[in-house]
Structure 1
Amino acid sequence: MSEQHLLYTLDEGVAILTLNRPDRLNALSTALLGDIGAALDRAVADGARCVLLKGEGRAFSSGADLVSTGGLPDDLGQLLEEHYNPLVRKFAAIPVPVVSAVQGAAAGAGCSLALAADLTVAARSAYFLLAFANIGLVPDAGATWMLAKAVGRSRAMEMALLGEKIPAEKAADWGLIHKVVDDEALHDAALALAKKLAAGPVVALGMIRKAINSALDSSLDTVLDSERDDQRAAGRTEDAREAITAFGEKRKPVFKGK
């Protein structure tokens, strides 16, 4: 892992991944994408119970780094298939909740990366931008799926077709992100949220995030069957037994993520 461009720390069960190319507005090189994927694997191996993704400097991420690749490659589809899509799938499959903290620009694939989190906390300076149409390209890295599912067809069309900045407050009003905080409060607010999730019944939380994502494309019968299977598994966890015991003893449960 290139520690220069991606920083990794573990804080009370939260794996904090920091994009660390502030001089390039945390542009996403293929090497950095690989580092993020490796860091997600490391977080799971380290027993992290939540992942917090953030960017160093004045932006979350300006999107794909085309400078390091010498401009647009001949086959953009291959670039996505080999580097971007595997990372998006890895975020979807990780068994713990993911929080993103966004300041400044979250543009292009950087926008997709921010929205790949389960809960996105944005600073008031933040904006979300899919400017692909302005340069004759199409949104990628899962952006069209995430947008359409989160905000509906009309707003997704507005963001993708017009290629205009969506300020943090508007993104929150749309339901695209979790909440907006003052810039100076961003790190603490996002970390507090991540620690709250990490202190929860993480096995059940992991099932919940996957169930909701699956439900977006499933029939009611399929969802009912999945909920049955997940509830069966969740009910057998130590955390579920602890919660029931704590309820009877009128105390706050202490979850261990088991």
Structure 2
Amino acid sequence: MTGSIDIVRDADCWTFTLNRPDKMNALNPQAVEALLAGVDEAHQSGARTLVFAGNGRNFSAGFDQGNLEQESDADLLLRLVRIETMLQRVASSPCMTVAFAHGRNFGAGVDLFVACKKRFCTADATFRMPGLRFGLVLGTRRFGECVGLANARDILEQTRTLDAHEAHEIGLVSRLVEADGVCSVVDDLRQVAGQLDSQTQRHLYDVLAAGDASRDLADLVLSASRPGLKARMLAFMRQR
């Protein structure tokens, strides 16, 4: 156990379970730093498969807004930069990255799901990204790359909720699975990851990567540094 993240190291497969069920696995600073450190350690150890899941009712409710009243715009900006750094670390991983979602998932939690190469969910899963309601651009390009630009525009402009079946239809979800089928899926993907040597696997993922990490970070900072971020987030919470 690493604070709010449970890490299981099983030979070449590391599993990261968000473990704040009382907070719907919202990403507080401790969880983000634990994920960053854990993913880096997994890479250094030679892991080939990384699995991300959530304990309790859902995968993740995204950015933890629990102490928002006590934070400044600068505090929030730094937190968001660290989240984007973590998301980029997962998105650019040389490993097979796998996410399992269930329950209600929001914002940065959906972004973590999107950052993985293989994405699975149960039939009860829903996904919503409300960040644009308070002017925040986080993970937007990755989402567009995942579901297509037209779909991304429609979904993000309306900040509407996707159910599991629509998420599967547009490519956000690779496949729907039952909760008791997770182990079987992981076993299959471990075998897939092992078919190539680690250097070739890394080269394959590098060649196919379409992202621009510097641009993604710049877009986030540009949106989050606009004065009044905290006030906009508080206003959104009151409306909700």
Which interval holds the TM-score relative to the shorter structure? 0.7 to 0.9
Q: Where does the alignment leave 5 or more consecutive residues of structure 2 unmatched?
A: 213-240
1:195 matched to which residue of 2?
190
1:130 matched to which residue of 2?
129
1:210 matched to which residue of 2?
206
Q: Which has the larger radius of gyration?
A: 1
Q: Where does the alignment leave 5 or more consecutive residues of structure 1 unmatched?
A: 218-258
Distance in 2 (alpha carbons) for counterparts of 1:69 and 1:193: 42
Distance in 2 (alpha carbons) for counterparts of 1:198 and 1:105: 29
- The equivalences for 1:104-253 within 5 A come to 104-133=103-132, 135-140=133-138, 142=139, 144-185=140-181, 187-201=182-196, 202-214=198-210
Distance in 2 (alpha carbons) for counterparts of 1:84 and 1:15: 20
Label 1:73 to 1:20 Cα distance change in 2 as closer, same or farther (>3 A).
same
Q: Secondary structure at the match of 1:120?
A: strand
2:102 matched to which residue of 1?
103
Aligned-residue offset at 1:69: 4.6
Give the aligned residue type for 1:152.
G
1:245 matched to which residue of 2?
none
Give the aligned residue type for 1:38.
A
Give TM-score, length-normalised by structure 1. 0.74
Aligned-residue offset at 1:14: 0.7
Check conservation: 2:3, 2:31, Cα contact below 8 A.
Answer: no
Check conservation: 1:122, 1:177, Cα contact below 8 A.
Answer: yes
Check conservation: 2:6, 2:18, Cα contact below 8 A.
Answer: yes
Aligned residue-pair number:
210
Distance in 2 (alpha carbons) for counterparts of 1:62 and 1:73: 21
Give the aligned residue type for 2:180.
E
Give the aligned residue type for 1:137.
G
Distance in 1 (alpha carbons) for counterparts of 2:190 and 2:203: 18
2:225 matched to which residue of 1?
none
Give the aligned residue type for 2:179.
D
CA RMSD of aligned residues (A): 2.0
Q: Secondary structure at the match of 1:16?
A: strand
Q: Secondary structure at the match of 2:58?
A: coil
Give TM-score, length-normalised by structure 2. 0.79
Distance in 2 (alpha carbons) for counterparts of 1:71 and 1:145: 30
Larger RCO: Structure 1 or Structure 2 (Cα < 8 Å, ≥ 6 residues apart)? 2
Check conservation: 1:129, 1:166, Cα contact below 8 A.
Answer: yes
Distance in 2 (alpha carbons) for counterparts of 1:72 and 1:125: 34
Label 1:11 to 1:198 Cα distance change in 2 as closer, same or farther (>3 A).
farther
Give the aligned residue type for 2:28.
S
1:221 matched to which residue of 2?
none
Check conservation: 1:6, 1:32, Cα contact below 8 A.
Answer: yes
Give the aligned residue type for 2:63.
A
Distance in 2 (alpha carbons) for counterparts of 1:196 and 1:71: 47
- The equivalences for 1:10-89 within 5 A come to 10-70=9-69, 73-75=72-74, 76-81=76-81, 83-89=82-88
Aligned-residue offset at 1:189: 4.1
